[in-house]
Amino acid sequence: MDPRHVFFVARKNNHTRHRVLEEEPLPQHSNILSDQIIEMEVFYSHQKYTGHLKRIEVWDEDNDKVIALLTNHMTFGVTIIAAIYMDRWQI
């Protein structure tokens, strides 16, 4: 958990490098393509956030593309994290 109890869900920048620490099982019958625990590899990104992150790939059927999301909320399920992002940004 973030020591400040601040959580985020954001779109992952394609240029941000990360290292996969763990692959999580995927929920059945969902639009979730990937659920990974990662850490940032780039020096400045890792300095700004040293904890582990959850990286989720979601299939956006309306726009026919894959969206990569990052969150520091490790206890919510991936479908909830994706729903939070989709609801907030109406993609």
Is 24 in contact with 1 (CB distance < 8 Å)?
A: no
Comparison of pLDDT for 87 and 35, the residue scoring more: 35
Query: 9-89: which CATH number, 3.10.450, 1.10.260, 3.90.320, 1.10.3470?
Result: 3.10.450
Question: According to DSSP H, which parts of 1-91 are helical?
Answer: 43-48, 78-89
22-54 tens-digit pLDDT:
999 999 999 999 999 998 887 655 566 678 999
Q: HSE of 75 in the Cβ direction (CA atoms, 13 Å)?
A: 4
46-72 tens-digit pLDDT:
566 678 999 999 998 888 999 999 999
The domain locations on the chain are 9-89
Position 4 pLDDT exceeds 90? no
Q: How far apart are CA 1 and CA 42, in angstroms?
A: 22
